[in-house]
Chains A and B, each alone.
Chain A
């Protein structure tokens, strides 16, 4: 290689056959479909905040050819799938990114700060470096029974963030009250609830994710879990799309999907009018990636007095909060945070509340709102709004 470089007087990129084969295997040949139109780069939200957008197309080309990614932009992708929504060839672009990250891990070249995330899951079974024994502390006063398949209709899967982050714990508590209000028989796994591993998959360590998923699936199998309701769309996504088929009847649901069922069945009714204008942030992993746009909106509409107003970009075009793809554990420089733009769009609607249905969205949007110092405007999870209307 050095000889070539000397001969042509500039950097030479060489095709790595082994890498090429590896990527085809990891992605099921996803990148091969790409015909390099560049719509991905044009639609990528990084273009909204950076002079030089994230060149998704270049990375796709490198993946097609087996060239090594060199400029570090690999870790920017929030896997929001905005590009996938527009890709004329239907390429699973986020998965190509995850696979390129898998290769980076194998070459011991991950982004700084991410190894400690994986170690935390390894030691503590959560990505937040929190003691596993304190996982169920938040629920001490709620008296939630441990899940028993003979007695309970569903298992409520809390997730690591809602178990440990005080802000997100409020979402979990709200949901517990809503389920009780609807007379749902449910339980949880308490401090023995295992991590879903989504953080591992999102930073692209596919091999370790398989281990985490197998372990967690085994716990679910042993506990007789079939119907499972998650708080985070990220947990829901891995259970729904990336877990091995460990039981025939396994049916993971995001809580918004489950609540809509309860409303349709007449079990959940909101009696108290709220008199609120609400706008809704579609979490990427609920909306674009799992095509659940209506469930959260239907919950909001079924609350008397709630008026739903849409933001400039909504549903398929919703702007990512910036927290996916492992970016919750990486710093994003000032001026490059999608959530700043999103909060601006939300305030423009004139709504009282920016609602969402994901603990990561809540954390990112609330951070941006704090910096913006807007009075009388709130970021709330749908569960937190719905519980007020019981």
Chain B
């Protein structure tokens, strides 16, 4: 096996987190990784550092300290204004080779995945992609990465014995972000960049953000069937309170109550939410295929014999038109209390 550019002997005992910038702020997954990294660093007495690339992103540094970073390696350059794989991989590589951290974590976002793969090859190290959990084995200081395979049917725990940095991309939403503490301050270390325009082969022509929602990755899915009688406003309200999105079985889509993009099931979207709330859905198999990968399925149906209950973790027998408004009422009240 090829050795990595630096190995165990030359590593610096620290965890690095790639700080992804998303609409002017730090991406949620980066905050989640800071929180996880902080926990491991506290356990081992290591340093936690962030790698921040962009243009005029200095004001995000204070935030990243407040979330728990000890230092931020900052590459601030006009050529880094937009993510291009050439510039970002070059800058990251330079920073990583200068600091030689033991661990480097990135979010499994489109850009994070792109960057991680390229860097791993350049550093001659391994990459545990799309992890669903991380923990540190304190005896040998090896990071254990949990990766699911075969459609979630198998979990693999992977360690990297010799190669450094131990790289991983982690799915957004796996960890919780930490608390903001403005008292935390750290050290800014500027990265010496040698970027020139001819390095960048990608030109940003136009930046457009689609309106489509990606129902495969929403945290909460509120799905309605024939039993909701087309009242998707009610479901949208519930979804909004829970930070989720609405979906539907085929009949409400056919009847025009909701767009085709939100059809869940074999011929629609196969969703992997944390929570799927199935309202007035009988549970035909070709629908169930679309929600059975949810961590938790809650079903509301007036028919106790409905097949959906066989797939649900929580079964509520009752009328959706009574239960959902009650849920909305309670959730709104709770939200008011927490805001107030």
Interface residues of A (CB under 8 A from B): 113, 123-124, 128-131, 164-168, 328-331, 334, 363, 366-367, 370-371
Contact = CB atoms under 8 A, between A and B. Distances in A.
A151 B149 CA distance: 40
Given A167-B284, A363-B286, A371-B254, A331 B268 contact: yes
The B contact surface, by secondary structure, is helix
Contact of B151 (A129, A168, A363): A129
A118 to B, nearest CB: 14
Interface in B234-270: 250-251, 254, 260, 263, 266-268, 270
B285 A165 contact: yes
B254 A334 contact: yes
Contact of A166 (B153, B254, B268, B310): B310
A371 B251 contact: yes
Interface residues of B, number: 20
Contacts of B226: 370
Contacts of A165: 285-286
B150 A123 contact: yes
B270 A129 contact: yes
Contact of B285 (A329, A331, A363): A363
A331 B289 contact: no
B271 to A, nearest CB: 13
A132 B250 CA distance: 27
Contacts of A124: 150-151
14 contacts: A113-B267, A123-B150, A123-B151, A129-B151, A164-B285, A166-B307, A329-B267, A331-B260, A331-B263, A331-B267, A363-B284, A363-B285, A363-B286, A370-B226
A195 to B, nearest CB: 15
A154 B316 CA distance: 43
A365 to B, nearest CB: 12
B150 to A, nearest CB: 6
Interface of B: 150-151, 153, 226, 250-251, 254, 260, 263, 266-268, 270, 283-286, 289, 307, 310
A167 B289 contact: no
Contacts of B289: 128-130
Contacts of A334: 254
Q: Which 5 A-B pairs have the closest CB atoms?
A: A165-B285, A331-B267, A334-B254, A166-B307, A371-B251
B307 A370 contact: no
A78 to B, nearest CB: 14
B153 A131 contact: yes
Interface centre among B263, B283, B284 (most CB of A within 10 A): B284
A124 B152 CA distance: 12
Contacts of A366: 284
A366 B285 CA distance: 12
A328 B310 CA distance: 23
Contacts of B250: 367
A167 B254 contact: no
Nearest to B283: A166
Given A331-B267, A334-B254, A370-B251, 4 more contacts: A164-B285, A165-B285, A328-B286, A363-B284
A370 B227 CA distance: 12
Nearest to A330: B267
B155 to A, nearest CB: 14
A169 to B, nearest CB: 9
Nearest to B267: A331
Contacts of A164: 285
Nearest to B268: A331
A167 B285 contact: yes
Contacts of B254: 334, 371
A125 to B, nearest CB: 12
Nearest to B310: A166
Contacts of A371: 251, 254
A330 B115 CA distance: 35
B151 A166 contact: no
A7 B139 CA distance: 75
Contacts of A123: 150-151
A293 B178 CA distance: 68
Nearest to B152: A131
Nearest to A332: B267
Contacts of A367: 250, 284
